[in-house]
Chains A and B, each alone.
Chain A
Amino acid sequence: MSDSKKNNGNTRTIRVGALARVEGEGALHLVMNGDQVEKVHLEIYEPPRFYEAFLRGRDFREVPDITARICGICPVAYQMGSCHSLEKAMGVFDDLTPEIHGLRDLLYCGEWIESHVLHMFMLHLPDFLGYESAISMAEDHGDTVKQALRIKKFGNTLMDTVAGRSVHPVNVCVGGFYKAPDPQAMKSLLPELEVCLDLMCKLTLFLAENITYPDLVRDYEFVCLNPDEGYPMNLGGLISNKGLNVSQEEFGKAIEEIHVEHSTALQSIIKGRGEYLVGPLARLNLKSEGLHPRAKELLPKVCKLIGQDLPWCNNFLSLPARGIEVVHALAISADIIRNYQLPKISRVPITPRAGWGAHGTEAPRGVCWHEYETEADGSIKSAHIVPPTSQNQITIESDLRELARLLVDVTDEEAALRCEHLIRNYDPCISCSVHFLKFSRDWQGGRSKSLARIAGGA
């Protein structure tokens, strides 16, 4: 649904019905002056979430279950960030066993699989293939959608098995897991996992081979975790391609959160430099050597089909990047499950104490960083959470500014669709609310002749 009206001779405002295929609520307002972009505002209406305030005074053991409810799509990310941070605050982080770390990786793989596949095939792929939605896409690509749904379901099953439920897992606790998963139940996942892994390799090649990706190359600062070995997920400090190299504890001081009038969400910059990008493209560009061999083997084939070696500096390529990450997550899961035995302990004991801890993990859409201060009785004195979408928001606006310059000759309706497509590159999770985008474009200094001609049909 769209609503178009002329405000004056040179200014025109067009509003397009809300976009449902992203998480949250907001609007995009472009101000054009001739062919130049005067202003790009990604306006987020979401009321402040107050979660950080909710947490103050609560027992530290309650935090993972409360933060999990910040997002229905990535509850594990919020649980992992809070658990690791609070384990540091309680002084037990170094006591975590390899088995606990392995189970956490496995649980996170389930979330990556579910979240990525949902976004890729139900929400983002229709843009690339020219369909209004997954529903119309399924008319022509029913098998692809069914295969994707099968893989998505496996991600949920994996989370169910490790953590009791896929939506807001109940088995996660500060210190590990309340109960270790049953080895038999874990092993029973392997046949379906193998099928899904093969399917995902094929689907990723399909994405590389059958899509012409819009060309929007930018000079991003990519930021992701930097584990000693493997691909970014739970552990490691933080690095960038432009010199950032900090510990988890230092990250909060390396960035600055700023408030802008047009958004109720804070926006993040790297101090002294500015915007940065977190998410699959950052992880793949900075840490591809840590991919599982199955994903590493696939990567050059994908690069060849796309015609672009790493680094990928075009975030429309986040779609195949997510495909490679799903292959990685499935392959890692298979390895962990094959080697899984019932651990001697599922969690480390904790004695509450006053402390401070900070830790971020790789949510499907990028680094989700937490910091907590606790009182001597283990209650929360302060909580601070920096979610991935707020870190990406300025970069999204910069992308939109670049794209808007290229859209002066298309109708407002088409421009809105192209901008929505770009925003979905980030799989933004702005709130657990409903709508996301209302689009408006104002022409302050007059429009280009070609656009005036197109719109002048009336």
Chain B
Amino acid sequence: MNQSGPSILVAACGNVMASDDAFGPLVARELRLRAPAGIEVADLDIRPAALLDFLPGKDSLILVDAVNAPGQQTGELLDIDWFSPDRPNLINDDTMSTHGLSLAMQLDLAKQLELLPQRVRLIAVCIDPVRVGEAASEYLPKAVLDAVDLVIKHTTLWSTQTPEQQHA
């Protein structure tokens, strides 16, 4: 943990046995090799309900997941402020989770409990519906590397800024 900079969490979700839904865990695996010091990487796998456990004390969060987003091209990488009004509609928040208490619900609950980080970004790849046991699409490896670059870009910038500066 970086003692002087912001406390940053990268939380990835997905199922490595379900085709392109492996996006999140693959990004987490790569980040463990390349992430700057002080960044906590949590692979929530198919238990995104564990997100709340990681939020206390964090002022910045990047969610990494695979999503179904109407109007977006399959394989497209989203890099958006979670709170932005321009955030595209996802088919359902629960498509970003697997276990009842979705990521979106947890962020709402975190806000209620005053645990919500000041900065929350979503880095997601748009995927088609997946089935357990299917192979990943050809676009996925590049999407993973691009996502890792984005995470490093944001976290490097944040490490030199306060959340207030980021929003200024």
Residues in A lying within 8 Å of B, measured CB to CB: 18, 20-23, 47, 49-51, 54, 69, 71-73, 118, 122-123, 133-135, 138-139, 142, 145-146, 149, 152-153, 156, 166-168, 432-435
State in angstroms the CA–CA spacing of A138 and B108 once bound together.
10
Contact call B46/A432, Cβ cutoff below 8 A: yes
| Residues A23 and B99 in contact in the complex (CB < 8 Å), given A69-B17, A118-B49, A153-B53 | yes
Are A433 and B108 in contact (CB-based, < 8 A)?
no
Q: Which residues of A contact B15 (CB under 8 A)?
A: 69, 432
Which residues of chain A have C-beta atoms less than 8 A from B50's C-beta?
156, 166-167
| C-alpha spacing A153/B106, complex, angstroms | 14
| A-contacting residues, B14-51, CB 8 Å | 15-17, 43-50
> Measured between alpha carbons, how far is A134 from B46 in the docked complex, in Å?
21
| A224 to B55 CA separation, bound complex (whole angstroms) | 37
Shortest Cβ distance from residue B42 to the other chain A in the assembled complex, whole angstroms: 9
Contact B112 A20 (CB under 8 A): no
B7 within 8 A of A: no
Would you list 7 pairs from A and B whose C-beta atoms are within 8 A, ordered by A residue?
A54-B133, A134-B105, A145-B109, A145-B113, A152-B53, A432-B99, A435-B92
Residues of B close to A71: CB separation below 8 A: 46
Say whether, besides A134-B109, A138-B109, A167-B45, A156 and B53 are in contact (CB < 8 Å).
Answer: yes
Whether the pair B92, A122 counts as a contact (CB closer than 8 A) is: no
Q: Which residues of A contact B99 (CB under 8 A)?
A: 23, 72-73, 432
Tell me which of B46, B92, B101, B112 contacts A69 (CB under 8 A). Answer: B46
Chain B 58-100 interface 0/1 with A at a Cβ cutoff of 8 Å (1 = within): 0000000000000000000000000000000000101101111
Given contacts A69-B17, A134-B101, A156-B50, contact A49 B112 (CB under 8 A): no
Residues of A within 8 A of B105 (CB): 20, 133-135
Q: Are B113 and A138 in contact (CB under 8 A)?
A: yes
Indicate whether B52 reaches chain A with its CB closer than 8 angstroms: yes
Q: Are B131 and A135 in contact, with the CB atoms below 8 A?
A: no
CA distance A122 to B49 in the complex (A): 10
- Residue of A23, A71, A167 with highest tally of chain B CB at under 10 A: A167
Across the A-B interface, give the 7 residue pairs with the lowest CB-CB distance, nearest first: A72-B46, A72-B47, A167-B45, A138-B112, A153-B53, A167-B47, A434-B94
CB-based contact A21/B112 at 8 Å: no
Query: With A and B bound together, what is the CA distance between A153 and B53 in angstroms?
Result: 6
The answer to whether B100 and A23 have CB atoms under 8 Å apart is yes
A71 to B100, CA, bound (A): 12
Is B145 at the interface (CB under 8 A from chain A)? no
* Minimal beta-carbon separation of A448 from chain B (angstroms): 34
CB-nearest residue of chain B relative to A433?
A: B98
B132 at the interface (CB under 8 A from A): yes
Nearest-CB distance from A19 to chain B (Å)? 9
In the bound complex, do residue B101 and residue A47 qualify as a contact, i.e. CB atoms below 8 Å apart? no
Instruction: Return B11 CB to nearest CB of chain A, in Å.
Output: 12
**Interface contact A135-B112, CB-CB below 8 Å:** yes
Does B155 reach chain A (CB closer than 8 Å)?
no
Known A22-B100, A432-B15; contact A50-B132, beta-carbon cutoff 8 A: yes
CB <8 Å contact, A73 and B47 = yes
Determine which residue in B52, B105, B132 has the highest number of CB atoms from chain A within 10 A of its CB, and name it: B132
B45 close to A168 (CB less than 8 A):
yes
CA distance A135 to B95 in the complex (A): 19
Shortest CB-to-CB span from B162 to chain A, Å, is: 26
Contact indicator A20/B102 (Cβ below 8 Å): yes
B98 touches A432 (CB 8 A): yes
CA distance A51 to B94 in the complex (A): 23
- Additional 12 contacts, C-beta under 8 A, given A51-B132, A122-B49, A168-B45: A20-B94, A20-B100, A21-B100, A69-B16, A71-B46, A123-B100, A134-B101, A134-B109, A138-B113, A149-B113, A156-B50, A435-B92
Is the pair A434, B98 in contact by a Cβ cutoff of 8 Å?
yes
B83 shortest CB reach to chain A, Å: 16
Q: Tell me the complex Cα distance, A413–B109, Å.
A: 25
Instruction: Return chain A residues, CB-CB under 8 Å to B95.
Output: 434
Q: How far is the CB of B160 from chain A (nearest CB, A)?
A: 31
Chain B residues with CB below 8 A from A72, complex form: 45-49, 98-99
Contact B98 A118 (CB under 8 A): no
**In the assembly, what is the distance between CA of A142 and CA of B113, in Å?**
7
The chain B residue sitting closest to A424, CB to CB, is B100
Closest B residue to A152 by CB, please name it.
B53
A138 partner residues in chain B, CB cutoff 8 A:
109, 112-113
Q: Which of B102, B108, B112 has most chain A Cβ within 10 Å?
A: B112
Q: Please name all residues of chain B whose beta carbon is closer than 8 Å to the beta carbon of A49 when the two chains form the complex.
A: 132
Contact (A142, B112) CB under 8 Å given A122-B101, A432-B99: yes
* CB–CB B133/A50 < 8 A: yes
Structural contact, A47 and B131, CB atoms closer than 8 A: yes
- Give chain B residues whose Cβ lies under 8 Å from the Cβ of A135: 105, 108-109, 112
The answer for the CA separation of A69 and B100 in the assembled complex, in Å, is: 16
How far, in Å, is B58 (CB) from chain A's closest CB? Answer: 14
**Shortest beta-carbon distance from A331 to chain B in Å:** 22
Inter-subunit contact A434/B92 (CB<8 Å): yes
For the complex, what is the distance from the CA of A167 to the CA of B108, rounded to whole Å? Answer: 23
Output the least CB separation between B13 and chain A (Å).
9
In angstroms, how far is the closest chain A Cβ from the Cβ of B109? 5
Residues of chain A within 8 A of B17, CB atoms compared:
69
Chain B CB within 10 Å, residue with most, of A20, A123, A134: A20
Q: Which residues of B contact A167 (CB under 8 A)?
A: 43-47, 50
